Amino acid sequence: MKTRARPFFQVDVFAQQPYSGNGLAVVMDSQDLSEAQMQAFARWTQLSETTFVLPPTAAEADYQVRIFTPGGELPFAGHPTLGSCHAWLEAGGQPREPGRVVQQCAVGLVHLRREATDLAFAAPALRRQAIDPTRLPRIISALGLAPGQVQAAQELDNGPLWFGLLLDSADTVRRLEPDHAQLRALGTKIGVAAAQGTDLLVRAFAAPVGILEDPVTGSLNASLAQWLIEEGHMPSRYRASQGASVGRDGRIELHRDAHGQVWVGGASVTCISGQVWL
C-alpha cells in the first residue's frame, strides 16, 4: 500500500478545555484512500470515531466527510460533524456562505453555523417509534435496571440507530453498570438520560460498534432533544452533560428554534495537528 503525508488533526469535541470531551481523529485530503484503508486507520486510532475529509460531490456542499468507528462506517454522527468542521476551517477551508458551512455525508447534507465562538449543526430528520416490547425487557435487564426506573423509551434513528431510555433520576443514570456482553449480544446501542434540574444527564453505551461507553455523543443528544422537547420532557433550550463516568466533562447546547429545527452545539479544541502517513 503506497502511503503519503496528509494533514491530520486530533480534536476534542464538546470540550471547553483540551482532553475533557470526545476525541476525534480527522484526516484531510482523503479522496484517494480506499474504504479498507479508512477502516484500518480508524481501528488503529481506537477513538470512538475517525473522519476522512474529501472534496464534495454535491454542488451545495463545502466538503464531504466519511465517518468510521473501530467497527464500521456511520452515515452520520454528531461529534465528528462538529470536529471535522472545526478541523476543515482550521486547515483553511472557506465556506461558500460566511458563518455557515454545509457538510456532505452519507445521510445527506448537514448545515452548520457559528453560535458565538462555537459551532452548531442542524439535527437531521429523526425517525422514531416505540421499542419492540419483546426487546425492551432484555435491554432493561442488560442495564441492571428495574422496569419502574424507565419513564419512557423510544427507538431513535437519525442515521445511527439508538434505543433511548428516559430514566427516573440522574442518580440512576450515574450508578448504571451495564452488562456490556449482553448489550453486544443484543446488537443495540443504548442511550440513557435523566433530567437534573433544567438540564439533562446522558450516558451512551455502544458495545456493538466496539465502544463500551462513548464519552460525548452528538447524534444521540440530537435525537434525544428532538424526542424529549417534542413530548414536553425537556424545555426548548437546555444543556446536556455527558462523560463524567469515564473522566470527561462534555457539554452540549441544545435548542429548538422557532421553525422547529433542533440545533446541537458545543466547543471544539485542537489537541494535535500535523501530518499522518497514510
Can you give the pLDDT at residue 2? Answer: 79
Distance of CA 29 to the CA centre of its chain: 23
pLDDT > 90: what percent of the chain? 94
Can you give the pLDDT at residue 188? Answer: 87
Mean pLDDT of 228-248: 97
Q: How many Cβ atoms sit within 10 Å of the Cβ of residue 60?
A: 11
- Give how far Cα 209 sits from Cα of 43, 74, 261, 272, Å: 11, 10, 29, 25
The rounded mean pLDDT for the chain is: 96
Question: 213, 202 in Cβ contact below 8 A?
Answer: no
Q: Using the predicted structure, report yes or no on whether residue 174 has a pLDDT greater than 90.
A: yes
Can you give the pLDDT at residue 87? Answer: 98
Mean pLDDT of 261-272: 97
**For this structure, is 49 an active site residue?**
yes
- Overall fold of domain 127-247: Diaminopimelate Epimerase; Chain A, domain 1 (3.10.310)
Amino acid at 17: Q
Can you give the pLDDT at residue 1? Answer: 63
Q: Using the predicted structure, report yes or no on whether residue 116 has a pLDDT greater than 80.
A: no
pLDDT band, residue 217 (cuts 50/70/90): very high
pTM, 2 dp: 0.94
Question: 239, 251 in Cβ contact below 8 A?
Answer: yes
pLDDT tens-digit series, residues 117-144: 799 999 999 999 999 999 999 999 999 9
**Domain limits of the chain?**
5-123+265-277, 127-247
Catalytic residue, from 35, 49, 60, 90: name it: 49
Yes or no: is domain 5-123+265-277 CATH 2.60.40.420? Answer: no
pLDDT tens-digit series, residues 64-81: 999 999 989 999 999 999
